[in-house]
Chains A and B, each alone.
Chain A
């Protein structure tokens, strides 16, 4: 069984500041890891994914995430926040075997102040 923990239901940053959204996972087999973003009144869309090719993954809109097996973490970062980054962010894990059903974290709401 797999699970995802996102620390902090809300993260507030100033425009131009570093964004750090935390995600820890547990999985009985090596997982695939994803970050999705949800803007108001829209469906979730993929930001980036880890598939074992490289531990540092770059995504859209300047976001990146680093897979750390020893810490079972996949934290999302962006060097400089923009007002348009305000949204809900979800970390998800899919096992590398079995039925490939993604399990999502509870989400972190990113608030960006001018």
Chain B
């Protein structure tokens, strides 16, 4: 069990550029979540996958955001035409079963700064 890994740890980009983040969940975990965290706030839900199916998206997720999880393994989160308001920590988490009492395993996050 190597934990949830996210890449890159930090990303600095200029407004209007596209960025892509990657998340590798714990092997065999079928649920994968993306959250966004800004300073002084808790994680806010963006979207989640069960295996390769994207089952729910938050209203926070504008059409500039897209997430994929091909083959039900790693996931990518892409932000097109970045805006300064996109600056945040993007967190990925995974869990092994489809139950509400199951804990999430979090990665260390990708810190995005949009200049």
| Interface assignment of B56: CB less than 8 Å from any CB of chain A | yes
Q: Which residues of chain B have C-beta atoms less than 8 A from A44's C-beta?
A: 43, 91, 93, 104, 106
Asked if A102 contacts B42 (CB within 8 A), the reply is: no
A106 and B55 contact, CB distance less than 8 A? no
Q: For A90, what are the chain B residues with a Cβ–Cβ distance below 8 Å?
A: 42-43
In the bound complex, CA of A103 to CA of B33 (Å): 12
Are B106 and A105 neighbours in the complex by a CB distance under 8 Å?
Answer: no
Contact with A along B82-108 (1 / 0, CB 8 A): 000000000101000011111111111
A107 in contact with B42 given A42-B108, A101-B56 (CB within 8 Å): yes
Contact yes or no, B99 A100, CB < 8 A:
yes
Interface assignment of B65: CB less than 8 Å from any CB of chain A: no
A41 contacts B108, C-beta separation under 8 Å: yes
Q: How many A-B residue pairs have CB under 8 A?
A: 63
Whether A49 pairs with B100 at a CB distance below 8 angstroms is: no
Q: Place the interface of chain B in its size category.
A: 20 to 34
Known: A44-B106, A45-B106, A101-B45. A95 touches B100 (CB 8 A): yes
A9 in the interface (beta carbon within 8 A): yes
Q: Which residues of A contact B41 (CB under 8 A)?
A: 106-107
Determine which of B3, B42, B100, B107 lies in contact with A32 in the assembled complex, contact meaning CB atoms within 8 Å: B100
Specify which chain B residues have a CB less than 8 angstroms from the CB of A46 in the assembled complex.
103-104
B94 to chain A, nearest CB (A): 11
Q: How far is the CA of A94 from the CA of B98 in the complex (A)?
A: 12
* Alpha-carbon gap, A31 to B99, bound state (A): 12
A104 contacts partner chain B, Cβ-Cβ < 8 Å: yes
Q: Which B residues lie at the A interface, using CB under 8 A?
A: 3-4, 33, 35, 40-45, 48, 55-56, 91, 93, 98-109
CB<8 Å pairs between A and B, sample of 5: A42-B108, A43-B106, A44-B104, A44-B106, A99-B56
6 smallest CB-CB distances across A and B, nearest first, come from A43-B106, A104-B42, A100-B100, A51-B101, A44-B106, A94-B100
Q: A92-B42, A95-B100 are in contact. List 10 more A-B contacts (CB 8 A).
A: A32-B100, A43-B3, A43-B107, A43-B108, A44-B104, A49-B103, A100-B98, A101-B48, A107-B40, A107-B41
